[in-house]
Amino acid sequence: MSPTRREITGFSNPTVKALRALREKRHRKAAGRFLAEGLRLLTDARECSYLPEVLVLSDRREPHPLLAALEEAVEADGGEIIETTPDILSKITGKDNPQAVAGVFAEFDTSLAALDRSSADIWLVAQALRDPGNLGTMLRTGDAIGAGGVILLDDCADPFSVEAVRASMGAVFTQRLAQARWEEFEPWLRSGAGQLVAASLRDAQPYRGAPYSAPCFVMVGNESRGLPEPYEMACDLRVTMPMKGRADSLNAAVAAAVLGYEVLASL
C-alpha cells in the first residue's frame, strides 16, 4: 500500500469523525471542504478537472474501470485514498445504502468577482432558497439549459451540503456558483450587460414571447415568500406564467426551469 493509501475500520477514528463533520455547515465552512458521493458524480467532477483531496472507498466495492481511473488520478494528484467499511461510509455520508465511493473537495470561490458574465447567455439567480434539493435541482437545470451558473442571493441553503450536491447530479462541478447579498449583486449586475428577469404577478407580461436578451439573469425567490417587492421592481422584465388552478405559484426550481427553457428557446 502506498503512503497515500490507508485503511480505516474504527468508527471512532478521528478521520472518520472529521469526514462525518462535513455534513454540518459550520464544519464545512471551517474546513473549506465538502463531500460528494457516487462514482458517476465523482467521474463528472474528474472530467471537469475537479479531483477530491481525499477519496474514500468501500472495501466491498466492485471493480470498475471508472473507479480505477479515479483512483489513479487522485494518486497522481497527490491525494489521499482511504479504504473503509460500508458501515463507516454510511456514517460519513448519512445514507443508509451508501455508494461505494465518496470524495472530499475544496470549496470553490463563490465571489461575484470570479464570475465572467460573458461566458454564458443565461444565468440562474435564487433568492433565499431554503431547500437544498431545490438548489441542487436548479444547478442541474442550469447545466441542461447551458446556463453559466447559479447565483445565490441572501440566506440560501448551502450549495455544498450533501443533499444539494446529490440533487445537482454533478452539476455543482459544471455550473459556476456565486453567493452574494442583494446589496452587492445589484451594483455588480448594473456594472455590465445583463437583463434581470423574474416571474411576477406585478405589472408582468406573458412569459412566452417576452423580449429576453443575453446575458439573461433569471431570478426566483424563496419557497414560501417569493421575491421581495423591491427585487421584483428592480427587474428589467417581469413575466407571468399561466396558473390555471388554485395555486398562485410554482415550486421554485420548477419556475426556474420553465422560465429558463423559455429563455433558451427565444435567445
Residues 6 or more apart whose CB falls under 8 angstroms from that of 190 comprise: none
Among 37, 44, 158, 232, binds a copy of itself (CB under 8 A): 44
Stretch of 9-17, 97-105, 106-114, 254-262 lying at the interface with a copy of itself (CB under 8 A)? 254-262
- Measured CA to CA in angstroms, residue 218 lies from 146, 195, 221, 260 at distances of 13, 8, 10, 7
Select from 66, 112, 210, 258 the one that contacts a copy of itself (CB under 8 A). Answer: 258
Write each residue from 156 to 185 as x if it is in contact with a copy of itself (CB under 8 A), else as -, in one continuous string: -----------x-xxx--x-----------
Long-range contacts of 156-159 (CB under 8 A, 24+ apart): 156/126, 156/127, 156/128, 156/129, 156/130, 157/129, 157/130, 157/131, 157/132, 158/25, 158/28, 158/132, 159/110, 159/135
User: What minimum distance in Å lies between the beta carbon of 172 and a copy of itself?
Assistant: 12
253 binds a copy of itself (CB under 8 A): yes
Of 25, 181, 190, 208, the one binding a copy of itself (CB under 8 A) is 208
Q: Taking contact as CB under 8 A, which single stretch among the options 1-9, 100-108, 111-119, 141-149 is the one that binds a copy of itself?
A: 141-149
Which conformational region is residue 32 in: left (phi greater than 0), alpha (psi within -120 to 50 degrees), or beta?
A: left
Q: Which stretch binds a copy of itself (CB under 8 A): 73-81, 178-186, 225-233, 250-258?
A: 250-258
Rounded to a whole number of angstroms, the minimum distance from the CB of residue 263 to a copy of itself is 12
Residues that bind a copy of itself (CB under 8 A): 44, 47-48, 133, 137, 140-146, 167, 169-171, 174, 208, 241-247, 249-251, 253-254, 257-258, 261, 264-265
